[in-house]
Structure 1
Amino acid sequence: MKILMLSIFAPHFFNWTEQLRDSGHEVYWLDVYDSKSKVKQIDFVEQILGWRYKWDYPGRYFLKSKTPDITRLINIFNERNFQEQLEEQIRRIKPDVVHSFVMYLGGAPALPVMKKVLDLKWAYTAWGSDMYYYQHQPKHLKDMKETLAQMDYMFADCQRDYSIAQEHGFEGRFLGVFPGGGGFDLRGLDPFIKDKENRSMILIKGYQGLHGKCISVLEALQKLEMHLKDYRIVVFGAAPEVFKFVGSSSLKAFKNLEVYGKLPYQNLMELMGRALIYIGNSSSDGMPNTLLEAIIMGAFPMQSNPGGATAEVITHKKNGLLIEEPENPGQIAELIREALFNPEFRRKAIAWNSENIKPKLERERVKARVLKAYELIEKDL
């Protein structure tokens, strides 16, 4: 089967696509934003790059940074249209299925072309806030409804998003819930799991902005200062707003607080493998990959639950704690206190997750399900 993937340059996408190596399928990737960078991880895929500009003239990036108005004028004549490029690649490749990743990046922009080739199967993968947040944006919702009505298949990282898609016009075949980037290499990650019985780190995802609500967690920590002296507190992936908040609040006096920007994957997994408690907090998300990573690395999970997505994995007060009010530092402080002062609860939750959730996230096990889903598409051709 020939599969034409439409996605931005994204690690989730590369991890997912790598599952198709040696599958017998011919895989093509049209980089919708044209990053022009070849990706070694998916070297078995024909990567369609360098298509956007007719003439990639010397000094283009310098001109773009210094004179954006002139660059916009030049691009009227110099920039190729995504829909035209997609149509050209469909004619050339003659794919059996087009697979779009993320509605408003790889889905809706392809709709005008897909309407012209109604005999071509169309699959879609929903990630993160793809459905949950953008259904509340009128322009995005209009595009979403029109696009969902044309799609034949859907993958998602949570059951919630399939329900939302059905509500807004998807009548195709749901192929299942999968981690956004496929499964995890448990054999490779297990060596990073340390100090199972003697952990003292509170690990916090540092996203802040449209969806991320790390600052609410930090405000909760301020309320618990007297209880935290014996713990190492680490914030990773911190947004600029988080650095600014820490520097201008009482947290700057916390000698046990460390704040990092983006970390290499191995470094993050090493932290996860030493964390007592993991906290992720946002107002909109799908199934957070970092939550799943915390589970497989043996950390006790605390995670926000927008639209009920996290509750598909975490049962509150059974195998973790759900943050239902992501912008309420008082509620978050109470949950942290509960996690800190109930070691038997933590122990049982971690044991349950390790026995019941972790094995299902093993990469080869997930890959087998993914390949079976693509086989279902192939049988429909």
Structure 2
Amino acid sequence: MHHSVHAARWIEALLDADFDLHLYPVDPAPPHAYIRGLTLHRPTPASPVAAPSVSISRRVARFLRHVLQDPLDAIRLLREKLARHAASTPAPEPRPRAGDPLRVRPVPFDGDDPQARVRLGRPDESEEAIMALHGPQMLAKVIAEVQPDLIHSLEFQHNAYLVLAARDLMLAADPSRGFPRWLATNWGSDIYYFGRDEAHARQIRRVCEAVDLYSCECRRDLALGRSFGYQGPELPVLANSGGIDVDAAQRLRSQVPPSQRKLIMVKGYDHFAGRAMVSLAVLERFADRLKDYEIVMFSVGSRPRVRALELKAAGILNIRVIDIATHDEILECFGRARAYLAVSISDGISTSVLEAMLMGAFPIQTNTSCCEEWFVQGETGFAVSPDDFDEICTQFERALTDDALVDEAAIRNLDIIRSRLDQTVMTPAIRDFYRQALGMPSRHEGSEPR
């Protein structure tokens, strides 16, 4: 997902490391502004495809169900439909573009972060033309042209499924040709949550059995990968968000001790996993004690946004909803926060937890993430059950009232982040990660983060 800051920061560690990097985008959105130093493949249509006229959402939903049940047949049907469109639609004058559909354009880019949101398993736009340009058929063509030594799919539902479909196409066309070495990395809830769904579980198992290498950011997810059929070697467990310049981040951090800060950070996700409405209910319970606090919600879903603005309008809570912000602006808010609250039924490490630890905000995160692999439960953070509202309230109240707890945790958490997430640690670890994946000798023995 080329518009993700996490992908951008991961790629940044590979710059000037003698790797020839190629990026295949999952949709036509512009790349993240941090992405540079690689070749971005910009698919362009050889023949235009007419946009569907009616019932797009129902047709897309029906097609996605078919993809999950029978990927090869779904691809066959899509190819036939696109061929009919191309045959029946007169071609307009081509837009001025350099090169053919497989033309590659070098970066760096200096565009803005589009803050893109992508749906499960397909590009964001509900148009078949997007699926044709950024789907498995075009990816298969790029793979055949580039002939990479390693394909790395970052995330499962949008990316590993896509590589799997491209692999099916290539092996069906020529079984003797084989397929390049493939590394699949699990992000967030890719296996922990979606593995409970029967249709997704079949796809996840197909991926885990097909890949040469599997990686993840949690010990929990390593075991889950094995349970889904992965039999390859164990790669280092590294944060998917890549490294961070800890010293630069600290310049955005308030010098006021966390116990004296008057801001609470809240993740606003409200989707298959996010439970921001629960977080708002917790805050509302403590409204009298939060009169002097600013509540900042980020990554906010529509329902929590409406409720947050209602609470603000009623004078119950002083809530500020952040719709668009730079990464530095979010870090600066964390650097002024006493505590951070996030409730979800599934996650990976949660990059926001790491950012809270980095900036001195005491983390309260549901135990459906891997947060306990990073902080010390009860001392440097609270891992709580998403199903126990009273427990969440109890731990939030303690973080709100125990000054010694939050101040001591901020010191210890910064040490943890510096030792495991700083660029000086992560960059050599990520480079060695790829050397191991490619069967090359390591240049930085002992550099893996603790």
- TM-score between both structures, scaled by the size of structure 2: 0.75
Alignment check: 8 A CA contact 2:262 2:337 kept: yes
Pairing partner for 1:49 from 18, 33, 42: 42
Question: Aligned partners of 2:398 and 2:242: how far apart in 1?
Answer: 32
1:170 to 230, 252, 259: 230
* Structure 1 pair 90–209 and aligned structure 2 pair: CA distance change class (3 A): closer
Structure-2 residue corresponding to 1:366 = 426
Q: Could you report, residue by residue, the CA deviation over 1:279-303 in whole angstroms, capped at 9, with x for unpaired residues? A: 1221111111111011111111111
Paired position in structure 2 for 1:263? 325
Shift of 1:171: 0.8
Cα deviation per residue 1:312-351 (whole Å; 9 max; x = unaligned)?
A: 1122212111121x24433221111111121112222222
SS in structure 2 at match of 1:31: coil
Match of 1:218 in 2: 280
Deviation at 1:54, TM superposition (A): 3.3
Cα distance between partner residues in 2 of 1:39 and 1:199 = 32
CA distance in 2, matches of 1:69, 1:242: 28
Partners of 2:161 and 2:56 in 1: how far apart?
Answer: 27
Q: Which residues in structure 2 correspond to 1:132-147 (within 5 Å)?
A: 132-147=192-207
1:162-211 CA distance string (max 9 Å, x none): 11100110011232222222011112211111133231211111111221
Q: Secondary structure at the match of 2:24?
A: strand
Structure 2 Cα separation of the partners of residues 75 and 327 of structure 1: 50
Equivalent pair of 1:8/1:105 in contact (CA under 8 Å):
no
RMSD, aligned α-carbons: 2.7
CA distance in 2, matches of 1:40, 1:267: 15
Q: Is the 8 A contact 1:100 1:125 kept in 2?
A: yes
Name the residue aligned to 2:140: 87
Which residue of the partner structure matches residue 10 of structure 2? 16
Structure 1 pair 222/42, CA: closer, same or farther in 2 (3 Å)?
closer
Distance of 1:274 and 1:245 partners within structure 2: 24
Q: CA deviation at 1:254?
A: 2.5
Per-residue deviation at 1:40?
A: 5.4
After TM superposition, the structure 1 stretch with the greater mean CA deviation from structure 2, 360-369 or 221-230, is 221-230
Instruction: State which of 374, 379, 384 in structure 2 corresponds to 1:323.
Output: 384
Q: Secondary structure at the match of 1:204?
A: strand
Cα distance change of structure 1 residues 253 and 22 upon mapping to structure 2, 3 Å threshold:
same
| Superposition deviation, residue 260 in structure 1 | 2.5
**Would you say the 8 A contact 2:312–2:318 is kept in 1?**
no
2 CA distance for matches of 1:283 and 1:251? 29
Q: Does 2:117 correspond to 1:124? A: no
Name the SS for the 1:174 alignment partner. coil
**Corresponding residue number in structure 2 for 1:77:** 85
Higher strand share: 1
Give the secondary structure class of the aligned counterpart of 1:173. coil
CA distance in 2, matches of 1:337, 1:152: 47
Conservation of the 8 A alpha-carbon contact between 2:216 and 2:238 = yes
Q: Please tell me the residue identity of whatever aligns with 2:232.
A: G
Unaligned regions of 5+ residues in structure 1, if any?
Answer: 1-6
1:269-288 counterparts in 2 under 5 A? 269-288=331-350
Please tell me the residue identity of whatever aligns with 1:77: H
Task: Kindly tell me the number of residue pairs found equivalent between the two proteins.
Answer: 366
Equivalent position to 1:105, from 152, 158, 162: 158
C-alpha deviation, 1:38, in angstroms: 5.3
**Offset from partner CA, 1:58-83 (integer Å, 9 cap, x none):** xx8xx67x756599977963543733
Q: Is the 8 A contact 1:295 1:358 kept in 2?
A: no
Worse-matched range after superposition: 157-166 or 106-115: 106-115
Amino acid at match of 2:43: G
- Whether the 8 Å CA contact 1:114–1:120 is kept in 2: the answer is no
Where structure 2 has 5 or more consecutive residues not aligned to the other structure, the ranges are: 61-80, 87-128, 172-176, 442-450
Indicate the percent of aligned positions where both proteins have the same amino acid: 22
How many Å apart are 1:46 and its aligned residue?
A: 1.1
- 1:32 maps onto 2:26 in alignment: yes
- Structure 1 letter corresponding to 2:248: G
Q: Matches of residues 290-329 of structure 1 in structure 2 within 5 Å? A: 290-306=352-368, 309-324=370-385, 326-329=386-389
SS of residue in 2 equivalent to 1:302:
strand
Partner of 2:294: 232
Q: Which residue, 235, 244, 267 being the options, matches 1:184?
A: 244
Q: Tell me, what secondary structure is at the counterpart of 1:16? A: helix
What SS does structure 2 have at the residue aligned with 1:316? coil
- Alignment partner of 2:21: what SS? strand
C-alpha distance in 2 between matches for 1:69 and 1:208:
24
- Which amino acid letter does the alignment assign opposite residue 209 of structure 1? H
- Distance in 2 (alpha carbons) for counterparts of 1:76 and 1:275: 57
Q: Report how far residue 42 of structure 1 moved.
A: 3.0
Contact 1:213-1:327 within 8 A present in 2 as well: no
Q: What is the identity, as a one-letter code, of the residue corresponding to 1:49?
A: R
Q: What amino acid maps onto 1:94 in structure 2? A: Q
